[in-house]
Amino acid sequence: MKIMKPAKLHYFKGRGRAETTRWMLAINNIDFINISLEDYNDFDNLKTSGKLPFNQLPLLELDDLKLSQSNAMISFLARRGDLYGKTNEDAVRCDMLVGAVGDFNVPAMQFAFKADKDEASRDLENSLKKFGKHFESILTQNKGKYLVGQKLSIADIIMGESLTSFIEFLPNCLDDYPHLKLLQETVVSEHNIKEYLNSGNRWRLPDEQYVIDIARVLCRPLPSHMSEPNRFVKG
């Protein structure tokens, strides 16, 4: 499928659930524009446009395709870019890893929403303790460089994305995981990924402002430790 126009990725002003799609667009060398929702009106307009299959974000527009569900987006992009290994067994290994990375990554997604940053850091460490040895052993059994087969796949990209956040939160956290460390370095050295990371499309690590931006768009309460937690709630 040849993509004619730059893709449009509708989301909040940050990484969140749209980030894996951004990395997969980048590795596929597909130009994209972040369309950031400012407030509830933007979300409401998008809902009434009929472009949102489930009234949820992110939304990825690829020419006439309107895609919802971030995991569907990234597997579509993996198939398009021949990043699903060579066989059906490789593909299911990729899916298992993408699922496991999603679980591993939960504390990174939640970090900005937590009041106690020491506790949030401990959650990251615990997740690494829980999953790191399994990821490391998969890489060891696969002779080191890639997670599935002997070529780059969606599993490596999604793992690289998550590990990059982990390192941003806890700079030395991969010191005991040499294969994961190498994998992260390999992924961020990919030309297209490097370009993306140095571009204006890459959002900073989620912070309090990001939490506020989401609450404003969704009209939902802020975490209770923040000031005026109900300031965006309607009615």
Report if residue 69 touches ligand GSH, rule: CB under 6 A.
yes
Let me know: does 81 contact 27? Beta carbons within 8 Å.
Answer: yes
The sign of the dihedral angle between the CA atoms of 165, 168, 172, 178 is: positive
User: Of the ranges 55-63, 123-131, 166-174, 193-201, which one interacts with ligand GSH (CB under 6 A)?
Assistant: 55-63
Q: Which residues lie closer than 8 Å to 190 by C-beta, 6 or more apart?
A: 27, 152
**What distance in Å separates the CA atoms of residue 39 and residue 203, rounded to the nearest whole number?**
18
Contacts 24+ apart (CB under 8 A), 83-89: 83/24, 83/27, 83/28, 83/152, 83/153, 83/154, 83/157, 84/153, 84/154, 85/148, 85/149, 85/151, 85/153, 86/149, 86/151
Least distance in angstroms from the C-beta of 7 to ligand GSH: 16
Report if residue 56 touches ligand GSH, rule: CB under 6 A.
yes
Q: How does strand 32-36 pair with strand 59-62?
A: unpaired
User: Of the ranges 34-42, 54-62, 162-170, 223-231, which one interacts with ligand GSH (CB under 6 A)?
Assistant: 54-62
User: Of the ranges 56-64, 103-111, 121-129, 221-229, which one interacts with ligand GSH (CB under 6 A)?
Assistant: 56-64
Report if residue 17 touches ligand GSH, rule: CB under 6 A.
yes
Least distance in angstroms from the C-beta of 16 to ligand GSH: 5
Q: Which two tokens stand for residue 83?
A: 């990043």
Least distance in angstroms from the C-beta of 24 to ligand GSH: 13
Q: What DSSP string describes 51-102?
A: --TTS-S-EEEETTEEE-SHHHHHHHHHHHTT-S-SSHHHHHHHHHHHHHHH
User: Of the ranges 53-61, 143-151, 183-191, 192-200, which one interacts with ligand GSH (CB under 6 A)?
Assistant: 53-61
Least distance in angstroms from the C-beta of 146 to ligand GSH: 25
Report if residue 21 touches ligand GSH, rule: CB under 6 A.
no
**What distance in Å separates the CA atoms of residue 179 and residue 34, rounded to the nearest whole number?**
32
The residue within the footprint of ligand GSH, chosen from 167, 218, 219, 226 (CB under 6 A), is 218
Report if residue 216 touches ligand GSH, rule: CB under 6 A.
no
The residue within the footprint of ligand GSH, chosen from 57, 67, 163, 187 (CB under 6 A), is 57
Binding-site size, ligand GSH (CB under 6 A): 9
The residue within the footprint of ligand GSH, chosen from 16, 81, 85, 160 (CB under 6 A), is 16
Q: Which residues bind ligand GSH (CB under 6 A)?
A: 16-17, 55-58, 69-70, 218
